[in-house]
Structure 1
Amino acid sequence: MNIIRCMLSAAVMFAFTAPVLGQDSWKLQPVAVQTRWAKNVSPANALKEYPRPQMERNNWVNLNGLWDYAITDNGAARPSRFDGRILVPYPIESALSGVKKALLPSQNLWYKRLFTRPALKTGEKVKLNFGAVDYEATVFVNGTQAGKHEGGYTAFSFDITALLKAGENEIVVKVFDPSGEGVGPHGKQVLKPESIYYTPSSGIWQTVWMETVPEVHVEELVMRPDIDKGILDVVVKGKGKPEVVVAGCSECGVLKQVQDDDRTTTITVKVPKARLWSPGNPFLYDITVKLGNDVVKSYFGMRKISVVKDAAGVDRIMLNNKPYYNLGTLDQGFWPEGLYTAPTDEALAFDIKAIKAMGFNTIRKHIKVEPARWYYHADKLGMLVWQDMVNPNQGLPQGAKAAFEAQSAETLSQLHNHPSIVCWVLFNEKWGQYDQQRLTEWIKSADPSRIVNGHSGELLYVNEVLRSPSPNAYVSADMTDVHSYPDPMMPIRIPGMAQVCGEFGGIGVFIPEHQWLTGSAWGYIQEKPAALMAKYNVMNQHLQLFEKEGLSGSVYTQPFDVEGEQNGLMTYDREVIKIPFAALRQIHAPLNPEAALPGWVEMTKGVVAKDADLTEPGILYSNMLPQYIMGKRDAAFLKKMAMMATQAGDKLGAELAGKAYIAGIKMPLSEEDINAVVQFSKSTKDAGFKLMHDNAAAFQKAMGDRKYTVAMMNMILKGEMEPLMNAADQVDWAAVEAAVKPYGLPGEEILLRAQTVGYFNKQDWKNYAPVAKAYLEKFGTNVSENEKTMFQKALDEHKKN
């Protein structure tokens, strides 16, 4: 029978409970926009669903809720006093954590909570499980280290039985998260030290739970379906003789059982006349595995993914031995109030439902590993997933390769059983690329059941200009892949490989009052709401032509706006759809015919969003100007006016609104004021620059030291340096230095950087040497590893010049 389980049902079967912590010390922190689910979050119900649906036990307790937290220098001992309460499992930088503070690479984050030891039968063990902690977690139980895990995206578990005592017990977790300054994979949180893509997510960001298991229990479960043979291989790790039962399948049964070693058994189950899993029919079989007194519930889907020649001899992606166009979108998994963590399980599922309601059949999960329940929803709802490995530190400092490979190995193991995952993506563009052939072949060997995209976007075109060409770009992969912005294009053809367009689109359309940042709306191109549908339709018509030439898949950037990127088909708060769902399904139907069928629509019932207002932005803006002329100056109006002026192309109006907003700010500055000042301030000539300069401490606290410094550097560059640098062929650096001197270290850093880059580009090695040496010595920690290597290499090669 199809798997329809109420995951909440396990909650009534706990063998032990945790104490209820006080709920009056938490509140949602201010956030620019928020989703409809944020209001449902409280310390009593923070992500209470069973977190690991493919190895579900009844005897468990959820440890999400309020914990004590503290931030210390990373060399400090455990704090004797804690700073306050934090709502687990929301990152400390998020509004839902109740804290909303930045964690610096020079700091540690500490968590603490109490729990009651369960009553244990002879031989029973207690396991403490973490869905994910970013980045390095050291766990203590009653003052003794239970274990340590490095890697911010994968689950880990410790047997804490021997550390428990009767009555009340204590868990403490120490977290170190250096983000872009560390060696580990960090995803879209950090591009390089001086440029943060999105707000980082530090600390515990997935569910924490405990479970009681018998001494003999299932340690690991691996399922390998084979639709051609009509069998399922079930690998059970754990000492003893396991039993396997497939629910609702009278013809399913054990064919053979092989003891691989003293802790591993492989059971082959026949699944005749199997109902095949696909996005149009996501049928899942329930399965129960018993080992001694341990009972684990799971599920599996019978499906096959491959690259095979079609009847015309064209290499195509095949699903269940038939050509299946992978019509995808690039989903990054960020939330305005939870950052890496969805506010509720309903919200987690909504994203997949909404993407399916748009008519897509594939999600490329972009350099993030989601909680297990996200993949459960993808399995249940019917969505193909291309899973990215989380990119290594792009500069590849010592230790980065080992950290990347360890995290990738954990990802392959952790996600193996999900039928929705059909493709592993090794590298994205050139973000930390190395040893591509070895690593591609390693993934194919570790998991021959899926296809591998060795390098998504190894060939990257922006406005038809090729960036970063590479020889042998798709070595050992199952597909060739091109990124092309904004319009899609065909990748190269290599025999034996499918052809895909791994990213395209990025059409920026911002919607008033649904923006994370009102002062910017990034996209590869900008369109007004009324023009988006036509532009998007043309792109998809080109995809139809490419499909006839052999294109097997495409990935549109992106389904939802993310912070400053407003190029989603839906707003960041998931409230407004920029092209109606029905229209999107119609546009997509030629490539995904199932999207037009009633069953597809039925699977997305309950997905609700407002259609975008297609009124010409200039008309909306012109209706605001009379109010401004008549003296309307409230903050909300001015912020909206600035945004509408930008959309209408009135730079003067945007500047007027920004200046008026800043002029009306009252001290002390709120976080909303600080964010608005940063958005409205682009130069030292802007009123916001003086406010930022004079109130440095407040802005540094809200933004973080480095982000504040970079903002100041950019304004100094635009306001003081560019007029002098662009005015003549030969830059008078003495004049530039005099102009930036009043601004202290930010002025000195941007001056040395500009001189280093300028002399490097002109290959003026005589003048380059002293400034580059000074820049690297004084500000080298702020320079990306790639640039540092490039600048130092030039220094070494031209020492005598």
Structure 2
Amino acid sequence: MKQIGFFLIVTALSFNTMLNAQEAEFSNLLQNIDSREKVSLNGLWDIIIDPLENGYYNHRLQPKDDGYFRNAKMKSPSDLIEYNFDTSLQLMVPGDWNTQMEKLYYYEGTIWYKKDFKHTVKKDELVYLYFEAVNYEAIVYLNGERIGSHIGGYTPFQFDVTGKLKEGDNFVVLKVDNKRKPENVPTVNQDWWNYGGITRAVHLISTPVSHISDYSIQLSKGSTNTIEGWVTINNATEGETVTISIPELKKSVNANVQNGKATFSITAKPILWEPKNPKLYEVVIKTNTDKLTDNIGFRTIETKGSKIVLNGKDIFLKGICIHEEAPFKTGRVTSVEECKILLNWAKDLGCNFIRLAHYPHSETMIREAEKMGFLIWSEIPVYWTIQFENPDTYNNAQNQLTEMISRDKNRAGVILWSVANETPEGIARLSFLTNLAEHARKLDNTRLITAALDTQSQDNEGRFIEDPLGKAVDVIGINNYCGWYYGSPESCAEIKWKSAYNKPMIMSEIGGGALFGLHGEKNERWTEEYQADVYKNNIEMMKNIDFLAGLSPWLLMDFLSSRRPLKRIQEDFNRKGLISEKGMKKQSFFILRDYYLKENN
């Protein structure tokens, strides 16, 4: 047994050393696609449901060279082609397949998507095929040729298709597979619906040959009067000039490109972004061949002891957790209107903070939340018990973290990058998550790192936060379901909390389930009265935590989860929402709102 233990320790340490050696670099994703010339490929796509993957493998389980991606057509009556996209079923993109077609409600497997489109080839431009998200594994073909693949269901990816597009008619085919696997991130066990499909928008994005590909523009760490950053130029001319201007501040600076990147610094005194005044400035980036415009806010975020400090002032985070679940119709959120409904509910609740669980939400959600003044916790789906010993699993998680930070690094509303939720203690887990935290810091040292933990110990004096992961994060998230998964609601009010760390703690999840409209005594499960009692007593508990910096109860709205089969109550819904999936507010909504209204900041 001692030898096995020693082997595990050595393996974990070697794994840790290997991961620390990796360089932290942003992905090559185009930044700010809404400022680009783009053509939408949204709408109806032809689909073929393929549970046995006949369109990819032959009967010997070897990949075909004439699979469905060829989009073959009969040329004579004797041709044997056992598929036809043109007479197949159709699904809307963006959207999940589970809620669009009843027989696909529980489906996990492969579906082929095909879209025909026309294109005019232009000289002196590059064209990218850009996917905002596909769940989970996508293999992409253009005009029958494989152009690449992507793993991960919640982050964007792109392919340079310049020279592969034809004048006139073109088609793109995707093999989309949402089967859960033990080595995936998330793994096979999750408490939200595994929505399959091309769940976010698809674009053809055109750029000049030499173009702005990425940039970071924000206040220098610890400063309120120095804006600094960098701009990367694809196919740049060495020494060429990039101009960064902020017209409202009457500031403009020129920077020269060295090795594809121009760095700059601007002395200015911007109005600082904050929840009560979410000020955004138009920022213009220009080269001889390209121009982008973004709306960027400037603010500082740091910790001092157990406090979170925004723009030099302590702030209490009055939050709520949100899943990317569409209000009223369920399924994936696919429109700005659906984002606004969820955010307006959070605003009505009195929130200044949202935890976007448990994966990166859409760029639309992030931008709309920022405009409305929400501080944001953004998370990757390192959830429960993934394969912490597996280097490929780590690389997958790190890539999703990189793509999330790459996309949203210029959003002032995002203050917390979360590397995990409810993971079990262990050497491999600690190494895995510590390396993710360090990777996030190397990419972006201006924000705070967190993780949601459910590993508190308990003794006669109360609950004690001592998870060793607390050393690696700036802010400790605690998920604690007193009154629901342990204890009675009335037992919660007297619980005392201690921490081994002089760091801020966010109560990142509390709550209990209730079916809207079900009423009874406060000791009767699933009633609104029971849920309300859970909230009343947990609020009393939190009033006595002197290192509490905020909370984000679980959660805003009921959402689909195949872990929740209880008939006449759950019906495949996690019922811990303060609002039903039909938009009806439960008693607990008003209890939490009253508490938030008493908090002034």
Q: TM-score range by the shorter chain?
A: 0.7 to 0.9
Instruction: Specify every segment of 5 or more residues in structure 2 that has no aligned partner in the other structure, as ranges.
Output: 1-28, 57-66, 69-82, 483-491, 561-572
Aligned equivalent of 1:70: 48
TM-score, normalised with respect to structure 2: 0.77
Question: Matches of 1:586 and 1:429 in 2, distance apart?
Answer: 29
Shift of 1:99: 7.0
Q: What is the aligned length?
A: 511
Amino acid corresponding to residue 94 of structure 1 in structure 2? T
Shift of 1:345: 1.4
CA contact (8 A) 1:225 1:301 kept: no
SS at match of 1:262: coil
Aligned equivalent of 1:511: 516
Equivalent in 247, 254, 257 of residue 255 of structure 2? 257
CA contact (8 A) 2:242 2:255 kept: no
Equivalent in 105, 111, 114 of residue 109 of structure 1? 111
Q: 1:466 to 1:365 in 2, by over 3 A?
A: same
Equivalent in 390, 415, 423 of residue 430 of structure 1? 423
Q: 1:214 to 1:275 in 2, by over 3 A?
A: same
CA contact (8 A) 2:524 2:530 kept: no
Q: Give per-residue Cα distances to partners, 1:257-298, cap 9 Å, x unaligned.
A: 354x321111223322x2111111111111121223322121
CA contact (8 A) 1:93 1:199 kept: no
CA contact (8 A) 1:127 1:160 kept: yes
Amino acid corresponding to residue 208 of structure 1 in structure 2? V
Question: Matches of 1:139 and 1:567 in 2, distance apart?
Answer: 38
Aligned equivalent of 2:147: 146
Q: Give per-residue Cα distances to partners, 1:220-254, cap 9 Å, x unaligned.
A: 1222223724122232111242222223223x332
Between Structure 1 and Structure 2, the one with more helix by share is: 1
Q: 1:481 to 1:584 in 2, by over 3 A?
A: closer
Equivalent in 363, 376, 386 of residue 372 of structure 1? 363
SS at match of 1:474: helix
Instruction: Specify every segment of 5 or more residues in structure 1 that has no aligned partner in the other structure, as ranges.
Output: 1-50, 310-314, 515-520, 595-801
Between Structure 1 and Structure 2, the one with more strand by share is: 2
Q: 1:340 to 1:372 in 2, by over 3 A?
A: farther
Greater alpha carbon shift after TM alignment, 202-211 vs 77-86: 77-86
CA contact (8 A) 1:458 1:473 kept: no
SS at match of 1:204: coil
TM-score, normalised with respect to structure 1: 0.59
Q: 1:462 to 1:350 in 2, by over 3 A?
A: farther
Q: 1:160 to 1:450 in 2, by over 3 A?
A: same
Question: Matches of 2:244 and 2:536 in 1, distance apart?
Answer: 49
Shift of 1:439: 2.9
Equivalent in 286, 291, 301 of residue 290 of structure 1? 286
> Percent identical across equivalent pairs?
22
Aligned equivalent of 1:363: 354
SS at match of 1:86: strand
Superposed, which structure 2 residues align to 1:673-684 within 5 Å? none
1:84 to 2:89 alignment: yes
Q: CA RMSD in A?
A: 3.3
Equivalent in 220, 236, 239 of residue 231 of structure 2? 236
Shift of 1:88: 0.7
Aligned equivalent of 2:200: 206
Q: Give per-residue Cα distances to partners, 1:591-629, cap 9 Å, x unaligned.
A: 3x15xxxxxxxxxxxxxxxxxxxxxxxxxxxxxxxxxxx
Computing the radius of gyration over CA atoms, which structure comes out larger, 1 or 2?
A: 1
CA contact (8 A) 1:505 1:556 kept: yes
CA contact (8 A) 1:253 1:271 kept: no
CA contact (8 A) 2:182 2:386 kept: no
CA contact (8 A) 1:385 1:420 kept: yes
CA contact (8 A) 2:217 2:230 kept: yes
Question: Matches of 2:341 and 2:327 in 1, distance apart?
Answer: 15
Q: 1:125 to 1:439 in 2, by over 3 A?
A: closer
Question: Matches of 1:258 and 1:492 in 2, distance apart?
Answer: 52
Amino acid corresponding to residue 253 of structure 1 in structure 2? S
Aligned equivalent of 2:219: 225
Aligned equivalent of 2:248: 248
Q: Give per-residue Cα distances to partners, 1:701-754, cap 9 Å, x unaligned.
A: xxxxxxxxxxxxxxxxxxxxxxxxxxxxxxxxxxxxxxxxxxxxxxxxxxxxxx
CA contact (8 A) 2:466 2:500 kept: no
Aligned equivalent of 1:413: 406
Question: Matches of 2:538 and 2:151 in 1, distance apart?
Answer: 42
Identify which of structures 1 and 2 has the higher relative contact order when contacts are C-alpha pairs closer than 8 Å and 6+ apart. Answer: 2
Greater alpha carbon shift after TM alignment, 386-395 vs 368-377: 386-395
Superposed, which structure 2 residues align to 1:157-172 within 5 Å? 157-172=158-173
Equivalent in 550, 554, 558 of residue 557 of structure 1? 554
CA contact (8 A) 1:491 1:500 kept: no
SS at match of 1:200: coil
SS at match of 2:209: coil
CA contact (8 A) 1:127 1:158 kept: yes
Shift of 1:174: 1.3
Equivalent in 499, 513, 519 of residue 493 of structure 1? 499
Q: Give per-residue Cα distances to partners, 1:173-194, cap 9 Å, x unaligned.
A: 1122222x2522137xx51xxx
SS at match of 1:213: strand
Shift of 1:213: 1.1
Q: 1:166 to 1:443 in 2, by over 3 A?
A: closer
SS at match of 1:453: strand
Aligned equivalent of 1:7: none
Aligned equivalent of 2:579: 570
Superposed, which structure 2 residues align to 1:291-440 within 5 Å? 291-309=287-305, 315-335=306-326, 341-391=332-382, 394-396=385-387, 398=390, 399-430=392-423, 433-435=429-431, 436-440=433-437
Q: 1:52 to 1:86 in 2, by over 3 A?
A: farther
Equivalent in 39, 42, 52 of residue 61 of structure 1? 39
SS at match of 1:354: helix
Question: Matches of 1:247 and 1:490 in 2, distance apart?
Answer: 52
Question: Matches of 1:496 and 1:584 in 2, distance apart?
Answer: 27
Superposed, which structure 2 residues align to 1:328-727 within 5 Å? 328-335=319-326, 341-391=332-382, 394-396=385-387, 398=390, 399-430=392-423, 433-435=429-431, 436-459=433-456, 472-486=468-482, 487=492, 491-494=497-500, 496-506=502-512, 508-512=513-517, 526=525, 528-529=527-528, 533=532, 536-546=535-545, 549-563=546-560, 564-573=573-582, 575-579=583-587, 584-591=592-599, 593-594=600-601
Q: Give per-residue Cα distances to partners, 1:64-90, cap 9 Å, x unaligned.
A: 100101122235333332331111111
Question: Matches of 2:525 and 2:318 in 1, distance apart?
Answer: 23
Shift of 1:58: 4.9
Q: 1:491 to 1:243 in 2, by over 3 A?
A: farther
Q: 1:205 to 1:325 in 2, by over 3 A?
A: same
Q: Give per-residue Cα distances to partners, 1:197-220, cap 9 Å, x unaligned.
A: 333111210100112211111111
CA contact (8 A) 1:103 1:109 kept: no
